[in-house]
Homo-oligomer: A and B are copies of this chain.
Amino acid sequence: MRLPGRAMIFGTGLMGASIGMALRERGWQVGGVDTADGVAARAVELGALNDEGIDHRADLVVVATPVHAAPQIIAGIMGSTDWKPGVVVTDVGSVKGPLVSAIDHPSFVGGHPMAGSEQVGVEGASGDLFVGATWVLTPTEVTDPAAYALLRSVLADLGANVVALDPARHDALVAVVSHVPHLTAATLMDLAAGMGQEHAALLQLAAGGFRDMTRIAAGQPSIWPDICDDNAEAIVSTLDLLIDALGAMRRRVAERDHESLLEILGRAASARRTLSERAPQPEELVEVRIPVPDRTGAIAEVTVLAAELGINIVDLEIAHSVEGDRGVLVLVVDTLSAPTLLATLSDRGYRASSTPVGTSG
């Protein structure tokens, strides 16, 4: 298909309306609906949608409703002949495993834009929300490579850093970097607030560090029961790890174990400083060409592998080899990452080759 095309958005709150704005700024025709009265009309007013209503001619459908409403909408589209054949469908939920295994369709690719905002609802929407944000996609072995490549290129065009992950792996990782941190921030805030009722002075002492740590606890509580249900296993096991680690911290303090205290605080400090550094911007890029003749799930396997190796895919396309019937997956990565990627692909039985960008035939 030719891009930009037509997009349809279910749920035009903060996330859906922001996607609408970003797509429209890039020339897409965007339709949308929302179950809450007046929200889709407001999205039209704010420029997030061209029109309110369901557009069955859409090339891309984004389901940005509350998590519990998404499976039925997506299954409805996949099971209907009203929609354009091959329409690519994605969602924006924070937990991917249960949804992705329930849908299991070549044209559905689960998504999770890791962009937040202090704002809530359609009024807080912004077309810039995704610039520089990580946007996880969860292709599986049934995913149509063309659907994945389309969605990936649209999201990269919105400014997002697209990372492919296995759905279960995504859920385990976000438990660590998002769900448990949120629950911990809320727990700390509640502990302090409880003491603050007796000691008004306490909240006067809440300085920058405490404010930083508890900022996310100010977020909308209503989304959390769904997230906690869908990702219960990973959240519970991460909470167990955190509780154990805090118990070890308690022991270090109680036993005046300076050596071990300095070790963990030093390790955490250097890890945190690394997190602040921007990834090095490679001067040179390389095209890695990977023939994928008859391997189902090759696009999922290759893109997930790159993410697990920490390799950023700058560009991705599906080309066709001279033989005509064989696909070639073309990834653009930086020069330094290419040898690792090639070696790992070779271990997995792929016959990949690389050429500097600009010189390939």
Q: Tell me the A225-247 residues at the B interface (CB within 8 Å).
A: 225, 228-229, 232, 235-236, 238-243, 245-247
Chain A 67-107, CB-CB to B under 8 Å as 1, else 0, gives 00000000000000000000000000000000000000000
Q: Is the CB of A212 within 8 A of B213?
A: yes
Chain B residues with Cβ under 8 A from A146's Cβ? Answer: none
Q: Is the CB of A187 within 8 A of B256?
A: no
The answer to whether A307 has its CB under 8 Å from any CB of chain B is yes
> In the complex, A213→B53 CA distance in Å?
40
**Residue among A169, A177, A221 with most chain B CB within 10 A:** A177
Tally chain A residues at the interface, Cβ within 8 Å: 98
Q: Is the CB of B205 within 8 A of A310?
A: no
Q: Is the CB of A213 within 8 A of B191?
A: no
Name A's interface SS: helix
Q: A161-B204, A217-B272, A245-B191 are in contact. Are A186 and B114 (CB under 8 A)?
A: no
Q: Is the CB of A188 within 8 A of B239?
A: no
Q: A269-B186, A272-B189 are in contact. Are A115 and B207 (CB under 8 A)?
A: yes
Identical copies of this chain, number: 2
Min CB distance, A180 to chain B, in Å? 8
Q: Tell me the A297-320 residues at the B interface (CB within 8 Å).
A: 307-311
Min CB distance, A152 to chain B, in Å? 15
Min CB distance, A215 to chain B, in Å? 5
Chain B residues with Cβ under 8 A from A149's Cβ? Answer: none
Partner of A210, one of B181, B232, B256, B273: B181
Q: Is the CB of B310 within 8 A of A265?
A: no
Chain B residues with Cβ under 8 A from A254's Cβ? Answer: 232, 236
Find the B residue at minimum CB distance from A215: B212
> In the complex, A265→B174 CA distance in Å?
19
The contact sample of 10 A-B pairs, CB cut-off 8 A, is A133-B207, A161-B204, A169-B199, A169-B201, A177-B192, A187-B264, A203-B275, A203-B310, A221-B262, A239-B250
Show the binding face of A for B, using Cβ within 8 Å.
Answer: 114-116, 133-134, 136, 161, 163, 165, 169-170, 173-174, 176-178, 180-193, 195-196, 199-222, 224-225, 228-229, 232, 235-236, 238-243, 245-247, 249-250, 252-254, 256, 258, 261-262, 264-269, 271-276, 307-311
